[in-house]
Amino acid sequence: MRHLKNKKSWLLAIILVLVISMLSACGSDKTGGESKDTLSAIKKRGKLVVGVKYDTNLFGYKDPSSGKVEGFDIDIAKALAKKIFGDEKKLELKEVTSKTRVQMLKNGDIDAIIATMTITEDRKKEVNFSDVYFKAGQSLLVKKGSKIQGIDDVKKGTKVLAVKGSTSVQNIKDKSPDAQVLEFENYAEAFTALKAGKGDALTTDNSILYGMADQDSNYQLVGQPFTDEPYGIALNKGDDKFTKYVNKFLKELKDSGEYDKIKSKWIKEQ
Ligand code: GLU
């Protein structure tokens, strides 16, 4: 009888140790709020989920007639899915805007942001960034014939349109503190507002503005870019392992010549 009781308590103790170690393993899998091995989680899920723009011609744009999402950032996302799975189709795209992208990453809705996102010190407090994969600079888009021909013409009384959550808003406020800045939810709305005469100029990266001028030849870029906007792929804060993996991917993409092919497919100017 005593023998049996001893056996029972041993068994209980073993189970207890097992349960505790399992629980603590779950806990330690989370470093800085992130899964320790993002890559395994993505592989297990069977697809990579990337946040991209849907309204930014040339970078991430959903064609209203075909429903297809295409652009430079999309091709980078496809190449990353190909690196992970050997199949670029194992990719789910989710729409982000400049305002929503960081929160969507933090919420775990997406594995990465590939969406015309500038690497900044401020943003580094919230996300990890890959190495630079594209270099843009902020510029101005105006209706042809406009009096505005560059940043020096943006002054008191000038209405400038920009998008919430973008670096462009702060930059234009710094460069032209007296101008009136109107902020929109996304680039489609901002461009529609410019076409409706609600502002004198639209400001964001030249790369994005080229995409707008490409859609409507009544509009043109003016002046020289007045900031540096290096784009990075944003990943979860503290997820250094996956960040290293993505940097390796970018290096391979460049070394193989694939990056140049993608770039020349979408970027004509610069
Ligand atoms: N590259 C700038 C930024 O990250 C402007 C483009 C955008 O809004 O995504 O804010």
What is the whole-number distance in angstroms between the Cα of residue 168 and the centre of ligand 1? Answer: 7
- Asked if 237 contacts 243 with a C-beta cutoff of 8 angstroms, the reply is no
Q: Report d(CA 171, CA 168) in Å as an integer.
A: 5
pLDDT at 5: 64
- Residue 116 CA to residue 52 CA, distance in Å, equals 8
CATH of 138-222, one of 1.10.274.30, 3.10.129.10, 3.40.50.300, 3.40.190.10: 3.40.190.10
CA of 38 to the centre of ligand 1 (A): 25
Tell me which amino acid residue 2 is: R
Burial class from Cβ neighbours inside 10 Å (0-12, 13-18, 19+) for residue 262 reads buried
Ligand 1 midpoint to CA 229 (Å): 8
Q: What is the pLDDT of residue 30?
A: 42
Q: Which of 204, 207, 209, 226 to mutate to test the pocket of ligand 1 (most atoms within 8 A of CB)?
A: 204
Kindly list the protein residues whose Cβ atom lies closer than 6 A to any atom of ligand 1: 98, 115-118, 163, 166-168, 204-205, 208, 229
The pLDDT of residue 34: 45
Phi-psi region of 173 (alpha: psi -120 to 50; beta: other; left: phi over 0): alpha
Residues 6 or more apart whose CB falls under 8 angstroms from that of 126 comprise: 102, 106, 237
Asked if residues 72 and 78 have their Cβ atoms less than 8 Å apart, the reply is: no
| pLDDT (0 to 100) of residue 32 | 44
**CATH class of the region 38-135+230-266:** alpha beta
Phi/psi for 162 (5° steps) reads -150, 175
Span from the CA of 113 to the centroid of ligand 1 (angstroms): 12
Q: How far is Cα 140 from Cα 194, in angstroms, rounded to an integer?
A: 12
Q: If you measure from the C-alpha of residue 99 to the centroid of ligand 1, how many angstroms do you get, rounded to a whole number?
A: 10
The Cα–Cα gap between 78 and 114 comes to 11
Q: In one letter, which amino acid is 86?
A: G
Q: What is the per-residue pLDDT for 17?
A: 65
Distance CA 92, CA 81 (A): 9
Give start and end residues of each alpha helix (H) in the chain.
2-28, 38-45, 72-85, 101-107, 121-124, 167-175, 187-195, 206-215, 240-255, 258-266
List average pLDDT for each run of 10 residues in the chain, which is 270 residues long: 65 66 50 67 98 97 96 98 98 98 98 98 98 98 97 97 98 97 97 98 98 97 98 98 98 98 90
Q: How far apart are CA 29 and CA 133, in angstroms?
A: 30
Closest-lying ligand 1 atom to the alpha carbon of residue 115: 9
Range(s) within the chain of domains with CATH label 3.40.190.10: 38-135+230-266, 138-222
